[in-house]
Amino acid sequence: MMLQIGRGWPDSADKVLRRVSTSEAPEWQTPRRPAGRLLRSPAAPTGRSRSRSTVAVATPRHHYLRANNKTIHWGYLSKSLPPVLTVNSGDAVTIETLTHHANDDCERMIKGDSGAESVFHWTRERKNINRRGAGPMDASIFGRGAGEGFGVHLCTGPVAIANAEPGDVVELRILGIRPRPSANARFFGRAFGSNAATWWGFHYNDLLTHPKPREVITIYEVDWHGEHAHAVYNFRWTAQRDPSGVLHPTIDYPGLPVDHASIVENHGVLKGVKIPLRPHFGFIGLAPKEAEVVDSIPPSYYGGNLDNWRAGKGATIYLPVSVPGALLSVGDPHASQGDSELCGTAIECSLTGDFQILLHKKCDLAGRPFADLNYPLIETAQEWVVHGFSLANFLAELGEAAQSEIYKKSSLDPAMRDAFWKMRRFLMTSKGLSEDEAISLMSVAVDFGITQVVDGNWCVHAVLRKSLFGA
């Protein structure tokens, strides 16, 4: 799909990525040139020269950030994490991401992949990365063992953005997305993902058939060229003993290796069904200011685990900066997901993304669609997407107990109201409508939908079509 280009910006994603050699990446991971073009940036609207609100360097660079045990943090965000990469506004960066569900089928999604193997390495003697890093090492606090607090996602980063300060806005353009192919000779070059219907899913206490309750994992093959995924097999979760000797009756710890000798693979499931691909990154977030270490599961004003499939190729996400350097992390890659992510997960599939990062300074935001941004805002070629949460800023609203209490407070009612408030403000400040005009337009032309009901802080999105304003 060809997208409009802002004046003063490179006229295609190809030009952004061609500026720098890809010699830092191994040959099989060399970034491919994305086919799409850059979105027209609100920082450079039609009829105006490039906005001074975007801090850019004369020659943007292209960086390559591999996923391995040196570049990934597991299950949390932190304003104190040292960046693994620093970029300037205007730079492009290719970021590898891994799904934390890869061990559901190690043979297909980990074996032979040196980066993934370094992340998931876990023996009785050593675990390369502590899962659920948001938790304390004192096992007595949560009762799940050292490093077993809340949070599940493998996050690549953080990436620091030079000159980013609280009050600024980061614009992240998603130029391209591609799968991470299997490195196992048996499945070489093919891509796979996992969908887990779990105890945290919306469905779990409302099952019809026996056994009840149950957790079921479905392994999918992702056909990138055919633009669909199809189920390979499924299995019911059985209690798994991890390499440290702990038994897990449920999927209660991220990255648990599944012993396939202990499960029954059911082939021929979803026979003939092709799932259209919606590749996107479920987790795109900046470090929040309110706490030292923040659980990766509930999303909030800083982004994080949004789980909105609209954050795919060709889209742009705007996030408010709350700490110096912004500290961007990307993860939770999905091959496809429906609105709600009802059973607890999407098709969790390791992906690599090409991005361009732009910084808009606070002093120059006036008149921009994101001038008073305090939530994650997505822009596509046709739409603006506003996000409302059960609690708009749960870290500030719930105090010291926020990261436990948020799981008890989630509801669609306040999320819907928050989305309404935010869309009303967007229409009044960005589009210049009166309150009465905004309310009427929301009722007749804005689509409100359930983003997710499984991430602690539930989310409702509001979709505004640009065509309503002749765009």
pLDDT in tens, 85-105: 999 999 999 999 999 999 999
In a domain, 376, yes or no: no
Identify whether residues 39 and 114 lie together within a single domain. yes
- Domain finish residue from 301, 330, 363: 363
User: What is the rounded CA–CA span in Å between residue 99 and residue 219?
Assistant: 13
CATH, residue 461: 3.10.28.20
pLDDT above 50: residue 310: yes
User: What is the rounded CA–CA span in Å between residue 109 and residue 130?
Assistant: 20
What pLDDT shows up at residue 39?
Answer: 33
Identify whether residues 386 and 328 lie together within a single domain. no
In a domain, 371, yes or no: no
Identify whether residues 134 and 105 lie together within a single domain. yes
What letter does residue 261 receive in the DSSP assignment?
G
Identify whether residues 245 and 355 lie together within a single domain. yes
C-alpha to C-alpha distances, 2 to 13, 18, 122, 211, 382, nearest whole angstrom: 11, 19, 45, 50, 12
Identify whether residues 122 and 236 lie together within a single domain. yes
In a domain, 402, yes or no: yes
Beta bridge partners of 356: 92, 173
pTM: 0.88
Rounded average pLDDT over 42-56: 41
What pLDDT shows up at residue 17?
Answer: 58
Please indicate whether residue 14 or residue 320 has the higher confidence score (pLDDT): 320
Identify whether residues 336 and 232 lie together within a single domain. yes
Identify whether residues 430 and 322 lie together within a single domain. no
Average pLDDT over all residues of the chain: 87
In a domain, 144, yes or no: yes
The least confident of 53-57, 265-269, 295-299 is 53-57
Structural domain containing residue 467 = 382-471
Identify whether residues 215 and 273 lie together within a single domain. yes
In a domain, 266, yes or no: yes
What pLDDT shows up at residue 133?
Answer: 53
What pLDDT shows up at residue 23?
Answer: 35
What pLDDT shows up at residue 132?
Answer: 63
In a domain, 245, yes or no: yes
Identify whether residues 352 and 281 lie together within a single domain. yes
Instruction: State pLDDT tens for residues 114-147.
Output: 999 999 999 999 889 877 654 555 555 444 444 5
In sequence order, what DSSP letters do the residues of 125-137 get, joined into one string?
A: S-BSS-SSTTS-S
Identify whether residues 295 and 389 lie together within a single domain. no
Domain total in the chain: 2
Q: Is 26 helix (H, G, I), strand (E, B) or coil?
A: coil
Rounded average pLDDT over 430-437: 97
CATH, residue 21: 2.60.120.580
Buried b / exposed e over 16-32, threshold 16 CB at 10 Å, is bbeebebeebeeebebe
* pLDDT above 90: percentage of residues in the chain: 78
In a domain, 375, yes or no: no
In a domain, 368, yes or no: no
What pLDDT shows up at residue 105?
Answer: 98
